[in-house]
Chain A
Amino acid sequence: NAGVTQTPKFQVLKTGQSMTLQCAQDMNHNSMYWYRQDPGMGLRLIYYSASEGTTDKGEVPNGYNVSRLNKREFSLRLESAAPSQTSVYFCASSANYRGQSGYTFGSGTRLTVV
């Protein structure tokens, strides 16, 4: 079982470049999430999708956009990367928006913006 698959695993961008982080889950989960994790800190929610067709801002949405392409896929786009967006990005999914069973996480994308 793949669970949550994120691509790429590593990426280096120049300031101002754009890129899309891809995420797919094969657990038939309804809800999906994008987090960032900075050194020495916990996870901060960027955007989430409670169900297919909906997206909402989290704690730190500025500089990002998302697309819930279908039930399986939830992408995160950086339109004009900035050094402050250097971080590790995690995609996660849960069975439903209440998240009572916990989240399943992807293995993360380490993004460096120079």
Chain B
Amino acid sequence: AQTVTQSQPEMSVQEAETVTLSCTYDTSESDYYLFWYKQPPSRQMILVIRQEAYKQQNATENRFSVNFQKAAKSFSLKISDSQLGDAAMYFCARIGVDSNYQLIWGAGTKLIIKP
């Protein structure tokens, strides 16, 4: 079954520290795309970072980076120097031919930033 699993319903981190959010997925395909989306209390869904499965290099966007382990089907998000504005729900998602190019979403992780 095509699934995306986020095993941490909630995480908390002290401001300025680093936190890692976990995501695993299931697919038999070799070509697909992975995404992390952020949903703050304003409820706007914001694309944080994307990874192409055929690229071995981990994607980075400023303080956000991923650890993509293709063989393990793992796609974790690392947030460095956490800021109060990072508090949000974070959703992991995958898209590929086996999903008919529809996004498959994880259930989300609520990130709490402690001042």
Contact = CB atoms under 8 A, between A and B. Distances in A.
Interface residues of A, number: 21
A105 B95 contact: no
Interface in B72-115: 91, 95, 101-103, 105-108
B95 A90 contact: no
Contacts of B45: 43, 90, 92, 103, 105
Given A88-B43, A97-B101, A107-B44, A102 B50 contact: yes
A101 B103 contact: no
A42 B101 contact: no
A102 B107 contact: no
Interface in A2-40: 40
A48 B102 contact: yes
B95 A100 contact: yes
Interface string B38-64: 000011111100101000000000000
Q: How large is the interface on B (under 10, 10 to 19, 20 to 34, 35 or more residues)?
A: 10 to 19
B35 interface: yes
A83 interface: no
A58 B103 CA distance: 11
B101 A98 contact: yes
B54 to A, nearest CB: 11
A25 to B, nearest CB: 14
Given A98-B101, A99-B33, A102-B35, A42 B44 contact: no
B91 A42 contact: yes
Nearest to A58: B102
A99 B107 contact: no
A9 to B, nearest CB: 10
19 contacts: A41-B107, A42-B91, A42-B107, A42-B108, A45-B102, A45-B103, A58-B102, A90-B45, A92-B45, A98-B95, A99-B33, A99-B101, A99-B102, A102-B47, A103-B45, A103-B47, A105-B44, A107-B42, A108-B44
